[in-house]
Structure 1
Amino acid sequence: MEEDPTFDPDLIHSIFKTVWTRMALERERNEAADAMDNEAGPANVTSKKNRPTSANANALKLSCELLRLFITEAVQRAAAIAEAEGMTKVEATHLERILPQLLLDF
């Protein structure tokens, strides 16, 4: 039995780390702005939001599979729209038309 091709877990992990880093920087900027608004300032307490974010191997595998399914469904829906219009090629406009409902379905 042949497995469906999927995304590389290391690639997905790198993407997640990039997003987590950006979110942490944005959170720090917001906290610094809030601290300037408050005279007392924030307490030096280790909170959950200050801990590094990570994902285990099973979570990465699941994320890869969900992403694969999402993209497969998007391509199939866009292809159906293109075929209904009598086209043999899927264009960006076809994807734009299916995305709102696809996002609601997922």
Structure 2
Amino acid sequence: MTGTLISLISIFIGILTANLFGYFRKKYTFGLTGNTLIGVFGSILLIKTFGRVGFDPWSIMKFGNFNSFLLTINLLVSAIGGIVGLISIKLIKNRMNK
């Protein structure tokens, strides 16, 4: 597994969780396209933020060894990023409509 593949999987997990969260919580949905875009940017933002701590894809594949614990944390942070992105955009939208 390469760092690029891990990055793509992380983004896909962000998209998937944002769409699932929007599906089950109708209050936070922006439709399929909106949830997908928010999932992409939310997961990338959180992965880049926490990647500085050592959970980025290249730390997972450091020295050619695969670290499954770091991958699990990376995917979890990506999923949380998609959900947090969806909630924060909804809060911003509600504040702007007032």
TM-score, shorter chain, exceeding 0.5: no
More helix by share: 2
Normalization by structure 1: what TM-score?
0.36
Normalization by structure 2: what TM-score?
0.38
Q: Which structure's relative contact order is higher, taking Cα pairs within 8 Å and 6+ residues apart?
A: 2
